[in-house]
Amino acid sequence: MVTNQGFHFINIFDFHSDFNNTCRRFDEYPKNLALLGRNTWGMVMKEYTRETISKTISQINKNILLPDIQRPFVWDKEQIYKLFDSLMRGYPISTFLYWQLTREQLTEIEKADKLRIKMYKFVDSNDEENEEENNRDKDSYSLVLDGQQRLTSLYIALKGIWKEKLRKKNIQKELYYNVLSGQTENEDGVLYEFLFIDRNDGVIQIEEIENEKIEKKIKCWINVKKVFEKDLGQAKKRGVFVDEIVAKDVRMLEFKNDIDDIIDRFNDVLKDDGVINFFPEDETNYDRVLDIFVRTNSGGTKLGYSDLLFSKIKLRWEDARAQFKELLASVNKNNFEFDADFILKACLVIFSKKSEDVKYNVNNLNDTLINDIVVSWVQIVQSIKITISLLDRFLMKDKKMLPSYNALIPMIYWVYKTKRSTYRDDLEHDVKEQQILRVWLVKALMSGAFSGQSDLTLYKCKEAIDNAGPTLYPAEDVEKNIQTMKNRSMNIDTDKYDQISYRSKESYLFLALCYKMAVNFQPITDGNLPEQDHIFSKDELKKANIPEDKINSIYNIRFVSLIDNRKKSKMPFTDWVKQLDTNKDTVFKTHGIPQGSWTVDNFDAFLNERKILLQGNLVY
């Protein structure tokens, strides 16, 4: 039960596991819901309103719109198929929550709170973005607080298209329904089959099935949108449509009556049955509406918690949507997946005054914080971009090498605090700080210090940075402050490095650290990791019966370009060294290869000497 000053609603499935069985048909759902609300708790709830899909669809992008606090459409095709399967089975598709406002109330709220409540249209395609609705000419509006994904799915299926790319061609598809399905569930538990099919394939599609396990060797797909557009509730019109199906394939004559019944049933679901059960919330205090939105959405997986918090920023700061999108586009050029969560967390850390301020919490996103973000946005953007640009220099080219994005936030805060505009490779101070940051970041990632819940860890980092002088990044002080926490540490036992092997996640981090930006391994395709090469080739070591774990030891691995890797290939170590000729000393220094006369016979000694050289890079 969620109660918020006069607002009462309930998710029935949270309280009675058997309730779904008592109202399997949606025509019983609202009655049982009201009964449950009155009799079980002895209280009066606000009434839910029933509406047909047809009428609801007719109001979308007119009276029914989306508030700016909603995120984009994210459902996939399978979720849409299951939604329509539930409708055909007569299952409840859960309730919807609308924020209902008159035009006058909308104006009053915006004036009182000094903000603009942006309204957005539903998309009619899966690859579009929601457009803002600037007209305010309707007497009232219903802004969807809960149910956006379901309503958008219905709208795309009945009014829009599904777009896909196939062999570089853009294919426009529409939803089709197999009117011969409904007898047996498939392996995914779906009884009634729906499928997006090329819209150019016509209203009716007959599909041959080559599967001995399937009883019916044929499927009859009909275009859902066309059924929706036709008035097939009338027996005469439906009969004409069924005759068209039979004319398409004479084998359909056997199923004529069944097809007529199923289309009649489908038409009822879309146009006659009140399957949309929505709660009309009329709260006029926006902060309370936001709280309602957070509470109704935070229990599921449709929205991350930071998505909900981000909504408050977007309301107070009109350009937030565009600004966040632009920043994310610029930092996700490589195979990274930074998102609004990451930006928000960085902002919370930058402006936090105590550890609780770092948490994702509605109260933390107050007007003061939002104003701080807006005023400092240019510097925030610059700090994030500079920090993430260092990943390229550190040879961290792929998200696989960045198991915790939060580990970057202390570096972002340092760049923000010191108001750094760039890192120059011709300045000794900048080069030294980059080396410190690289060592610190790799240790932070390999130690797992920022795994799991890391809010307190982030604040401990900020504390250490605030107490340090504006010289070089205070890596050791940050480590020590993290060490004061229970079960948190950036210390790494040197034995752990010995266990790192060829192409493991840790191997890329370790080598990125050891190379100290000495080599630019280009070209490295965006999204690909640097190449790893065995210094002593696998072939020559296997012939010498060297154990697999020693062959793939990190101390026998180096970073190389794709061309160098192919060029060296299976070449024995001594042959490769001879080929280097006068470049030998430079290559050995670059790749941390110890000087000496190394052969397969003293391979163990080689590993030990290279271990000493590489681990010498682990200090600040």
Residue partners of 5: CB distance under 8 A and separation at least 6: 288
142 with 187, same domain: the answer is no
Q: Is 60 exceeded by the pLDDT of residue 522?
A: no
487 with 420, same domain: the answer is yes
| Cα–Cα distance list, 381 to 329, 360, 372 (Å) | 12, 20, 13
More confident residue, 129 or 360: 129
Q: Is 196 in contact with 175 (CB distance < 8 Å)?
A: yes
In b/e form, how buried is each residue of 392-425, taking b as 16+ CB within 10 angstroms? eebbbbbeebbebbbbbbbbbbbbbeeeeeebee
Q: Is 80 exceeded by the pLDDT of residue 212?
A: no
Q: What is the 3-state secondary structure (H, E, C) of 3-30?
A: EECCEEECCHHHCCCCHHHHCCCCCCHH
608 with 597, same domain: the answer is yes
In b/e form, how buried is each residue of 541-569, taking b as 16+ CB within 10 angstroms? beeeebeeeebbbbbbbbbbbeeebeebe
- Please tell me what DSSP assigns to residue 506: H
Claim: this prediction has a pTM higher than 0.85: no
What are the backbone angles phi and psi of residue 132, rounded to the nearest 5°? -70, 140
| Cα–Cα distance list, 408 to 210, 365, 375, 413, 544 (Å) | 53, 22, 22, 9, 44
84 with 101, same domain: the answer is yes
Average pLDDT over residues 513-530: 55
414 with 433, same domain: the answer is yes
For 46-105, how does the pLDDT look when each residue is reduced to its tens digit (9 = 90+)? 688 999 999 999 999 999 999 987 878 989 999 999 999 999 999 989 899 999 999 999
Lowest mean pLDDT among 224-233, 279-288, 498-507: 279-288
31 with 66, same domain: the answer is yes
Quote the tokens at residue 329: 């586009």
What are the backbone angles phi and psi of residue 162, rounded to the nearest 5°? -110, 125
Q: Let me know if residue 562 belongs to a domain.
A: yes
- Angle of helix 367-375 relative to helix 377-393, nearest 10 degrees, comes to 60
Quote the tokens at residue 350: 């930058």
287 with 331, same domain: the answer is no
536 with 439, same domain: the answer is no
For 309-358, how does the pLDDT look when each residue is reduced to its tens digit (9 = 90+)? 666 777 678 788 789 989 999 999 777 899 888 999 999 999 999 999 99
| Cα–Cα distance list, 326 to 11, 202, 339 (Å) | 37, 41, 11
Q: Is 136 in contact with 62 (CB distance < 8 Å)?
A: no
Pairing of strands 531-534, 557-560: antiparallel
User: What domain count does the chain have?
Assistant: 4
105 with 177, same domain: the answer is no
Residue partners of 449: CB distance under 8 A and separation at least 6: 407, 457, 482, 488, 489, 490
User: What is d(CA 565, CA 569) in angstroms, rounded to the nearest whole number?
Assistant: 6
Count the helices and strands in the chain (H runs, E runs). 27, 15
Pairing of strands 96-102, 276-281: parallel
Q: Let me know if residue 502 belongs to a domain.
A: no
173 with 193, same domain: the answer is yes
Q: Let me know if residue 14 belongs to a domain.
A: yes
357 with 369, same domain: the answer is yes
User: What is d(CA 182, CA 178) in angstroms, rounded to the nearest whole number?
Assistant: 9
403 with 486, same domain: the answer is yes
Q: Let me know if residue 224 belongs to a domain.
A: yes
Q: Let me know if residue 500 belongs to a domain.
A: no
Q: Let me know if residue 75 belongs to a domain.
A: yes
For 421-434, how does the pLDDT look when each residue is reduced to its tens digit (9 = 90+)? 999 989 999 999 99
Q: Which of 221, 253, 269 is the last residue of a domain?
A: 269
Residue partners of 525: CB distance under 8 A and separation at least 6: none
Mean pLDDT, the chain, whole residue set: 85
Q: Let me know if residue 508 belongs to a domain.
A: no
Q: Let me know if residue 501 belongs to a domain.
A: no
Q: Is 60 exceeded by the pLDDT of residue 33?
A: no
CA atoms within 13 A on the CB side of 504: 16
Q: Is 80 exceeded by the pLDDT of residue 43?
A: no
What are the backbone angles phi and psi of residue 502, rounded to the nearest 5°? -50, 125
Q: Is 199 in contact with 161 (CB distance < 8 Å)?
A: yes
- Write out the residue range of the structural domain in which residue 312 sits: 305-492
